[in-house]
Amino acid sequence: MSEQGTPRPEHSGLRHTLLAWLNVLGPMAGLLAIYALFALIGPPSFSSTGNLETIARQTAIVGAAALGMTLIMILGGIDLSVGSVVALTTVVIAWLLQHLQAPPTLAALGGIAAGAAAGLVSGLVITRLKVVPFIVTLGMMLVVRGVAKAIAHEQKIDAPLSSLQSLLASLPPEKRLMLVPSGVWLVIALALLVAGLLKYTRLGRHIFAIGSNEATARLVGIPVNAVKLLTYTLGGAFFGLGGLMLFSRLTVGDPTAAVGLELDVIAAVVIGGGSLAGGEGSVFGSIVGALIMSVIRSGCSQMGLDNWVQELVTGIVIVVAVALDRLRHRTNTQ
Amino acid sequence: MIRPVCLPMAVLVALVCLCSCARQAPPPDTTQGPPVEQEIAGEHAGAGQYTLAVIPKGTTHEFWKSVHAGAVKAARELGCEIIWKGPLKEDDRDEQIKIVEDMTSRGVSGIVLAPLDDTALRMPVKAATEKGVPVVIIDSGLQSEDYVSFVATDNRNGGKIAGERMAELLGGKGKVAMLRYAEGSASTTEREAGFLEAIEAAEGIEVVSSNQYGGATTESAYKAAENMLAPLKGSDGTLSLDGIFCPNESTTFGMLRALQDARFAGTVKFIGFDSSEKLVQAMRDGELDALVLQDPLNMGYLGVKTMVEHLQGRSVEKRISTGETLVTPQNMDEPDMQALLMPDFKRWLGE
């Protein structure tokens, strides 16, 4: 999973390899440093294996959504409707389970399809009406939230207990060998898949090309609109996956859930080396970014620190991570 | 070839140093034990080894400050430690689930929890109980049997008291409106139901609006209140409404602000729930006709006390009521009412 940044064939091979490794190692080193710090000053329980599992489970939602956001941000776009799409997905899954008595797998797929549909609508408006993604998805944030509340009649929907709830539930002792619950494995597998898609497929290269320079990409014959449409739809599906993970944790369909989640997801991608200007980012980095925020959260929480400390620390880490990234770029181009 | 690699490396090292320096603020002896809020006073031996996590729904409402004060009071009396930690995003169910999980991982002796949702918090509470961390539920109910005790206001009764007072104030006829709090909040839904029950029982009174939600913050409640009042305003500048009920502090205050702005405050019978300095002032000014008060300080106190009793192996009641009281402009200066209206949380929180 070392696909990274804009391809710059003019670099010498060695230098390119070094830089690629550095891009991967930067966020990783940050994660390890922060973890080591909390292990040192936090309560002993922080570094227990049980807590590692807890951190992994708590990262799954932002991690799943960050897969979609990574694709969209490499493309040079952004999607602010993540939180609303996640809420819509939990509502759709709960509705399917409750009112249609759908089998859990079908309900889960239905929820993800709802997410993909929201992404498709965003993509259509962006490509057909030529409105900038920031505005379109800002609107979609409200539209999707409204739809979710309408479906749920402004209440949460209680769903009957189903196998979906074990996706992110703490592992029972007899399944300890799995290390983390199946939902986390699912996110890891999909992360590998998306990383492969970005590195080895034509679509992946097209996404990078459009994010680097859309006009040039158009000139060399890349079907820009089709790629955009596909990316936003894929992104929506991953947000839907995040919604599935949230449903698994909440066990209810909650139209008011995940308000402000978009900021966590964007922060994860940006900490991991993604750029708001497009053309950069990596799946590995984004997952590490999401983990960094979970580790800070878990550490602060277990130390019993006040919420404002936690917000302060997370905010500083985001800015420092991006500032370092800019600094690295400046040295690269010199 | 070397330079572009060296600089980022140096920066990375700097980051690591920076992080470690910045986070070395706590005293060096913290490696010896869990650094938690030092709220111990070992007057009573026996409870000193307990560390309890007290998890509210949020941390900014005054209500939760009183609960915090009550918990601190109990901790001082009993000589145990408490960790006070609310969800980072107020009213975010997943954030609260994370905190319950974190505290379970941390291995606290017990958790005192005010669940944001009666269903969503079932699983983490079950997991905590299975890992040997008992849970006492305060404030709002949980649809589960995995807890030691439920320490809370009887919210339906609180709403009923408000409804009966409203019927009395209106002489059994007129139009009333109710601004609900938030979707899926069990305690306020109970109050709303209790109020509507009492109003229905009074017959002659018509409910003209009861489907609007104020939302989590004062700001959102203020907007919702304005929108709710707008269609009820007549062209002659009067309000075709006789009574209003709001089921918590933020909706009551939001409604009060909307009434004040539109100069309707005092012209319509207005009953709220919970108290704050501003609401007490409004009652003094005749803009509020009654408040239903809970006893949050007692709730925090009894929550911690019940948990310690359970940990010491004593049997505890499954349901403990913390009481609900109607305060009016007539009785508001009695000492008992004053203690409820303005809980002395500063004394316990050292603010």
Chain segment A245-264, per-residue pLDDT in tens? 999 988 888 898 888 899 99
Residue B42 has pLDDT above 70, yes or no: no
Which chain B residue is nearest to residue A252, measuring alpha carbons?
B120
Q: How many residues does chain B have?
A: 351
What number is the average pLDDT over the span B38-58? 70
Res B7: pLDDT: 43
Residue B40 has pLDDT above 70, yes or no: no
Residue B130 has pLDDT above 70, yes or no: yes
d(CA A275, CA A271): 9
Q: Is A14 touching B (CB cutoff 8 A)?
A: yes
Residues B313 and B245 in one domain: no
From A43, A48, A156, residue closest to B184, measured CB to CB: A156
Q: Using the beta-carbon criterion (under 8 Å), do A37 and B20 form an inter-chain contact?
A: yes
Q: What is residue B290's three-state secondary structure?
A: strand
Residue B100 has pLDDT above 80, yes or no: yes
Residues B234 and B301 in one domain: no
Which chain A residue is nearest to residue B213, measuring alpha carbons?
A154
Res B85: pLDDT: 92
Residue B24 has pLDDT above 70, yes or no: no
Q: Is A298 touching B (CB cutoff 8 A)?
A: yes
Q: Is A166 touching B (CB cutoff 8 A)?
A: no
Residue B20 lies in a domain: no
The residue among A149 and A2 whose pLDDT is bigger is A149
Find where tokens 């997991």 sit. Answer: B127
Q: How wide is the angle at C-alpha A56 spanned by C-alphas A55 and A58, nearest 5°? A: 65
What number is the average pLDDT over the span A73-84? 95
Q: Which of B313, B31, B314, B203 is nearest to A40 (CA)?
A: B31
- The pLDDT confidence band at residue A303, using thresholds 50, 70 and 90, is confident
Residue B207 lies in a domain: yes
- The pLDDT > 70 percentage for chain B reads 86
Q: Using the beta-carbon criterion (under 8 Å), do B35 and A304 form an inter-chain contact?
A: yes
Residue B2 has pLDDT above 90, yes or no: no
Q: Using the beta-carbon criterion (under 8 Å), do A37 and B85 form an inter-chain contact?
A: no
Interface test with A, best of B97, B102, B210 (most A CBs within 10 A): B102
Res A153: pLDDT: 86
Residue B70 has pLDDT above 90, yes or no: yes
CA distance B12 to chain A (A): 7
- The pLDDT confidence band at residue A308, using thresholds 50, 70 and 90, is confident
What is the token pair recorded at A236?
Answer: 């929506």
Residue A69 has pLDDT above 60, yes or no: yes
Residue B186 has pLDDT above 80, yes or no: no
Tell me how far apart the terminal alpha carbons of chain B are, to the nearest angstrom: 58
Query: B294, B313, B337: which is the final residue of a domain?
Result: B294
What number is the average pLDDT over the span B43-53? 72
Q: Is B117 touching A (CB cutoff 8 A)?
A: yes
Q: Is B126 touching A (CB cutoff 8 A)?
A: no
| Chain B partners within 8 Å of A93 (Cβ) | none
Q: Is A18 touching B (CB cutoff 8 A)?
A: yes
Tell me how far apart the terminal alpha carbons of chain A are, to the nearest angstrom: 27
Residues B141 and B261 in one domain: no
Give Cβ neighbours of residue B235 (< 8 Å, ≥ 6 apart).
Answer: none
Q: Using the beta-carbon criterion (under 8 Å), do B120 and A251 form an inter-chain contact?
A: yes
Chain-centroid distance of CA A90 in Å reads 16
Please say whether the beta carbons of B96 and B111 come within 8 A. Answer: no
Chain segment B239-250, per-residue pLDDT in tens? 889 999 999 989
Residue B1 lies in a domain: no
- The pLDDT confidence band at residue A157, using thresholds 50, 70 and 90, is confident
Q: Is B103 touching A (CB cutoff 8 A)?
A: yes
Q: Which of B158, B60, B50 is nearest to B112 (CA)?
A: B50
Residue B6 lies in a domain: no
CA distance B47 to chain A (A): 20
d(CA A295, CA A317): 12
Interface test with B, best of A256, A262, A271, A320 (most B CBs within 10 A): A256
Which chain B residue is nearest to residue A321, measuring alpha carbons?
B15
Q: How wide is the angle at C-alpha A255 spanned by C-alphas A253 and A259, nearest 5°? A: 120
- The pLDDT confidence band at residue B60, using thresholds 50, 70 and 90, is confident
- The pLDDT > 90 percentage for chain B reads 57
- The pLDDT > 90 percentage for chain A reads 58
Residues B103 and B225 in one domain: no
Q: How wide is the angle at C-alpha B191 spanned by C-alphas B189 and B196, nearest 5°? A: 95
CA distance B26 to chain A (A): 8
Residues B235 and B117 in one domain: no
Q: Is B132 touching A (CB cutoff 8 A)?
A: no
d(CA A241, CA A113): 9
Residues B246 and B137 in one domain: no
Res B117: pLDDT: 85
The residue among A13 and A45 whose pLDDT is bigger is A45
Q: How many residues does chain A have?
A: 334
Res B150: pLDDT: 95
Please say whether the beta carbons of A196 and A172 come within 8 A. Answer: no
CATH number at residue B73: 3.40.50.2300
Res A240: pLDDT: 97
How are strands ordered across the β-sheet holding B269-273?
B205-213, B174-180, B243-245, B269-273, B290-294, B324-327
Give Cβ neighbours of residue A101 (< 8 Å, ≥ 6 apart).
Answer: none
Residues B280 and B164 in one domain: yes
Chain segment A86-126, per-residue pLDDT in tens? 999 999 999 999 999 999 999 999 999 999 999 999 999 99
From B1, B4, B119, residue closest to A252, measured CB to CB: B119
Q: Using the beta-carbon criterion (under 8 Å), do A301 and B37 form an inter-chain contact?
A: no
Which chain B residue is nearest to residue A40, measuring alpha carbons?
B31
Residues B128 and B225 in one domain: no
Residue B15 has pLDDT above 80, yes or no: no
Most trustworthy range by pLDDT among A232-236, B262-266, B322-326: A232-236
d(CA B164, CA B172): 10
Residue B343 lies in a domain: no
Interface test with B, best of A14, A19, A41, A312 (most B CBs within 10 A): A41
Give Cβ neighbours of residue B169 (< 8 Å, ≥ 6 apart).
Answer: B243, B269, B271, B289, B290
Q: What is residue B209's three-state secondary structure?
A: strand
Q: Write down the ipTM of this complex.
A: 0.77
Residues B189 and B316 in one domain: no
Residues B217 and B305 in one domain: no
Q: Is A324 touching B (CB cutoff 8 A)?
A: yes
Which chain B residue is nearest to residue A171, measuring alpha carbons?
B127
Please say whether the beta carbons of B306 and B316 come within 8 A. Answer: yes
d(CA B272, CA B201): 20
Residue B46 lies in a domain: yes
Q: Is A131 exposed, middle or buried (0-12, 13-18, 19+ CB in 10 A)?
A: middle
Phi/psi for A159 (5° steps) reads -110, 150
Residue B29 has pLDDT above 50, yes or no: no
CA distance A251 to chain B (A): 6
Domain tally, chain B: 2
pTM of the complete model: 0.75
Residue B96 has pLDDT above 50, yes or no: yes
Q: Is A173 touching B (CB cutoff 8 A)?
A: no
Residue B11 lies in a domain: no
- The pLDDT confidence band at residue B27, using thresholds 50, 70 and 90, is very low
Q: Using the beta-carbon criterion (under 8 Å), do A43 and B8 form an inter-chain contact?
A: no
Which chain A residue is nearest to residue B87, measuring alpha carbons?
A307
- Return the bridge partners of B178, or none: B245
Residues B301 and B216 in one domain: no
Interface test with A, best of B18, B85, B104, B212 (most A CBs within 10 A): B85
Q: Could you give all domains of chain A from N- to C-terminal order, each with its CATH number? A: 29-169+177-326 (1.10.3470)
d(CA A67, CA A262): 13
What number is the average pLDDT over the span B164-191? 90
Residues B166 and B141 in one domain: no
> DSSP letter at B237?
S
Residue B13 lies in a domain: no
Res A20: pLDDT: 67
Residues 276-315 of B with CB under 8 A from A: none
Residue B20 has pLDDT above 80, yes or no: no
Report CA-CA distances (Å) from B211 to A88, B179, B181, B208, B214: 21, 7, 10, 10, 10
Res B239: pLDDT: 87
Res B8: pLDDT: 44
The residue among A290 and B15 whose pLDDT is bigger is A290
The residue among B96 and B31 whose pLDDT is bigger is B96
Residues 29-58 of A with CB under 8 A from B: 29-30, 33-34, 37, 40-46, 48, 50-51, 54, 57-58
Please say whether the beta carbons of A73 and A272 come within 8 A. Answer: no
For residue B80, give the amino acid letter.
C
Q: Which domain holds residue B60?
A: 35-153+296-322
Q: Using the beta-carbon criterion (under 8 Å), do A170 and B127 form an inter-chain contact?
A: yes
Query: What average pLDDT does chain B have?
Result: 84
Q: Is A262 touching B (CB cutoff 8 A)?
A: no
Q: Which of B225, B162, B243 is nearest to B197 (CA)?
A: B162
Q: Using the beta-carbon criterion (under 8 Å), do A257 and B92 form an inter-chain contact?
A: yes
The residue among B313 and A310 whose pLDDT is bigger is B313
The residue among A273 and B300 whose pLDDT is bigger is B300
